[in-house]
Protein backbone atom coordinates (compact mmCIF):
# COMPACT_ATOMS: atom_id res chain seq x y z
CA UNK A 1 0.00 0.00 0.00
CA UNK A 2 1.27 3.43 -0.89
CA UNK A 3 2.31 5.68 1.92
CA UNK A 4 -0.23 8.24 3.04
CA UNK A 5 0.80 11.66 1.84
CA UNK A 6 -0.25 15.01 3.21
CA UNK A 7 -2.48 15.54 0.17
CA UNK A 8 -4.42 12.35 0.94
CA UNK A 9 -5.45 13.54 4.35
CA UNK A 10 -8.59 15.66 4.33
CA UNK A 11 -7.67 19.21 5.24
CA UNK A 12 -8.84 20.37 8.63
CA UNK A 13 -11.45 23.08 8.52
CA UNK A 14 -13.21 25.56 10.74
CA UNK A 15 -16.08 27.99 10.42
CA UNK A 16 -17.10 30.86 12.69
CA UNK A 17 -20.37 32.77 12.67
CA UNK A 18 -19.37 36.34 13.56
CA UNK A 19 -22.26 38.30 15.08
CA UNK A 20 -20.61 41.09 17.05
CA UNK A 21 -18.78 44.15 15.78
CA UNK A 22 -17.47 46.01 18.82
CA UNK A 23 -13.74 46.47 19.39
CA UNK A 24 -13.46 43.81 22.10
CA UNK A 25 -15.67 41.24 20.37
CA UNK A 26 -13.89 41.71 17.05
CA UNK A 27 -10.72 40.07 18.34
CA UNK A 28 -11.76 36.45 19.00
CA UNK A 29 -12.95 35.65 15.46
CA UNK A 30 -9.93 37.25 13.75
CA UNK A 31 -7.41 35.73 16.18
CA UNK A 32 -8.92 32.27 15.82
CA UNK A 33 -9.29 32.55 12.05
CA UNK A 34 -5.71 33.68 11.39
CA UNK A 35 -4.26 31.14 13.81
CA UNK A 36 -6.28 28.26 12.37
CA UNK A 37 -5.14 29.29 8.88
CA UNK A 38 -1.54 29.25 10.14
CA UNK A 39 -2.20 25.73 11.42
CA UNK A 40 -3.24 24.70 7.89
CA UNK A 41 -7.00 24.81 8.43
CA UNK A 42 -9.39 25.93 5.72
CA UNK A 43 -11.22 28.75 7.46
CA UNK A 44 -14.56 30.37 6.68
CA UNK A 45 -16.03 33.34 8.52
CA UNK A 46 -19.72 34.13 8.14
CA UNK A 47 -20.47 37.74 9.11
CA UNK A 48 -24.02 38.49 10.16
CA UNK A 49 -25.84 41.23 12.07
CA UNK A 50 -23.38 43.49 13.92
CA UNK A 51 -20.47 41.32 12.83
CA UNK A 52 -20.92 42.73 9.33
CA UNK A 53 -19.37 46.02 10.50
CA UNK A 54 -16.02 44.22 10.71
CA UNK A 55 -15.98 43.96 6.92
CA UNK A 56 -16.37 47.69 6.31
CA UNK A 57 -13.54 49.23 4.28
CA UNK A 58 -13.14 51.77 7.04
CA UNK A 59 -12.67 49.42 9.99
CA UNK A 60 -13.29 51.46 13.11
CA UNK A 61 -15.03 49.37 15.76
CA UNK A 62 -16.36 51.19 18.78
CA UNK A 63 -16.25 50.19 22.40
CA UNK A 64 -18.72 50.59 25.26
CA UNK A 65 -18.36 50.09 28.98
CA UNK A 66 -22.12 49.55 29.24
CA UNK A 67 -23.34 46.21 30.52
CA UNK A 68 -19.85 44.77 30.75
CA UNK A 69 -19.65 43.69 34.37
CA UNK A 70 -16.43 41.72 33.88
CA UNK A 71 -14.49 44.60 32.36
CA UNK A 72 -11.78 45.82 34.69
CA UNK A 73 -9.16 48.18 33.32
CA UNK A 74 -5.67 47.94 34.80
CA UNK A 75 -5.07 51.40 36.24
CA UNK A 76 -2.96 52.85 39.04
CA UNK A 77 -1.52 49.43 39.85
CA UNK A 78 -4.96 47.94 40.42
CA UNK A 79 -8.07 47.08 38.41
CA UNK A 80 -10.88 49.60 38.04
CA UNK A 81 -14.39 48.55 37.02
CA UNK A 82 -16.67 51.01 35.26
CA UNK A 83 -20.18 51.45 36.72
CA UNK A 84 -22.91 51.41 34.05
CA UNK A 85 -23.96 55.02 34.66
CA UNK A 86 -20.51 56.13 33.44
CA UNK A 87 -21.51 55.14 29.93
CA UNK A 88 -24.20 57.85 29.97
CA UNK A 89 -21.54 60.54 30.26
CA UNK A 90 -20.64 61.85 26.79
CA UNK A 91 -17.16 60.82 25.75
CA UNK A 92 -16.65 58.05 28.31
CA UNK A 93 -17.02 55.23 25.76
CA UNK A 94 -14.68 57.04 23.36
CA UNK A 95 -12.08 57.48 26.09
CA UNK A 96 -12.42 53.85 27.21
CA UNK A 97 -12.08 52.79 23.56
CA UNK A 98 -8.90 54.84 23.17
CA UNK A 99 -7.53 53.35 26.39
CA UNK A 100 -8.28 49.88 25.10
CA UNK A 101 -6.50 50.61 21.81
CA UNK A 102 -3.47 52.00 23.65
CA UNK A 103 -3.34 48.90 25.89
CA UNK A 104 -3.57 46.68 22.82
CA UNK A 105 -0.64 48.50 21.21
CA UNK A 106 1.50 48.63 24.36
CA UNK A 107 1.07 44.91 25.04
CA UNK A 108 2.17 43.87 21.54
CA UNK A 109 -1.33 42.68 20.60
CA UNK A 110 -2.06 42.95 16.88
CA UNK A 111 -4.30 45.72 15.59
CA UNK A 112 -7.61 44.63 14.10
CA UNK A 113 -6.58 46.02 10.72
CA UNK A 114 -3.46 43.85 10.77
CA UNK A 115 -5.42 40.75 11.81
CA UNK A 116 -8.03 41.29 9.10
CA UNK A 117 -5.28 41.83 6.55
CA UNK A 118 -3.58 38.62 7.76
CA UNK A 119 -6.90 36.80 7.36
CA UNK A 120 -7.19 38.03 3.77
CA UNK A 121 -3.58 37.07 2.98
CA UNK A 122 -4.00 33.59 4.43
CA UNK A 123 -7.05 32.91 2.24
CA UNK A 124 -9.64 32.95 4.99
CA UNK A 125 -12.97 32.80 3.18
CA UNK A 126 -15.21 35.64 4.30
CA UNK A 127 -18.93 35.53 3.61
CA UNK A 128 -21.13 38.56 4.27
CA UNK A 129 -24.76 37.83 5.10
CA UNK A 130 -26.88 39.25 2.27
CA UNK A 131 -29.92 39.63 4.52
CA UNK A 132 -27.92 41.80 6.96
CA UNK A 133 -26.75 44.02 4.10
CA UNK A 134 -30.37 44.55 3.08
CA UNK A 135 -31.53 45.03 6.67
CA UNK A 136 -28.96 47.66 7.64
CA UNK A 137 -28.78 49.16 4.14
CA UNK A 138 -25.14 48.43 3.42
CA UNK A 139 -23.84 48.13 -0.12
CA UNK A 140 -21.27 45.57 -1.19
CA UNK A 141 -19.04 48.53 -2.13
CA UNK A 142 -18.99 49.57 1.55
CA UNK A 143 -17.19 46.32 2.36
CA UNK A 144 -13.69 45.10 1.56
CA UNK A 145 -13.26 43.48 -1.86
CA UNK A 146 -12.20 40.04 -0.65
CA UNK A 147 -15.65 38.95 0.49
CA UNK A 148 -18.47 37.02 -1.07
CA UNK A 149 -22.18 37.27 -0.36
CA UNK A 150 -24.33 34.44 0.92
CA UNK A 151 -27.07 33.36 3.25
CA UNK A 152 -27.80 30.71 5.84
CA UNK A 153 -27.81 27.90 3.28
CA UNK A 154 -24.34 28.95 2.10
CA UNK A 155 -23.17 28.77 5.70
CA UNK A 156 -24.50 25.25 6.19
CA UNK A 157 -22.92 24.12 2.95
CA UNK A 158 -19.59 25.09 4.53
CA UNK A 159 -20.30 24.08 8.11
CA UNK A 160 -21.48 20.58 7.24
CA UNK A 161 -17.93 19.78 6.15
CA UNK A 162 -16.04 21.55 8.94
CA UNK A 163 -14.32 19.91 11.90
CA UNK A 164 -14.95 22.96 14.06
CA UNK A 165 -17.93 25.34 13.93
CA UNK A 166 -18.05 28.28 16.31
CA UNK A 167 -20.51 31.08 17.04
CA UNK A 168 -19.14 34.34 18.39
Partner 1 sequence: MAEQMLDAKGLNCPLPILKAKKMLSGMQPGDVLVIEATDPGSVADFAAFCSQTGNELLESGQEGDVFKFKIKKA
Contact between 103 and partner 1 by CB under 8 A: the answer reads no
Nearest CB to partner 1, comparing residues 40 and 72: 40
Q: Is 110 near partner 1 (CB under 8 A)? A: yes
Complete DSSP assignment for the chain: -PPPPGGGSPPPEEEEEE---SHHHHHHHHHHHHHHHHTT-EEEEEE-GGGGGGGBSS-------TT-TT-EEEETTEEEE--GGGGGSTTHHHHHHHHHHHHHHHTTPPPHHHHHHHHHHTT-EEEEEHHHHHHHT--GGGB-TTEEEE-HHHHHHHHTT-SEEEE-
| Residue 90 beta carbon to partner 1: minimum distance, rounded to whole angstroms | 32
Site string for partner 1, 13-32 (x = CB under 8 A): ------------------x-
* Residues at the interface with partner 1 (CB under 8 A): 6, 12, 31, 34-35, 38-40, 107-110, 118, 122
Amino acid sequence: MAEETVADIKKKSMSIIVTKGSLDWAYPPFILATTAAALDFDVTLFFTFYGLALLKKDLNPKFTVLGNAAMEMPMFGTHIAMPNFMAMIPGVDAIAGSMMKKMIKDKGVASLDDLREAAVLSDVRMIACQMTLDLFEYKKEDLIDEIELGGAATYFDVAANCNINLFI
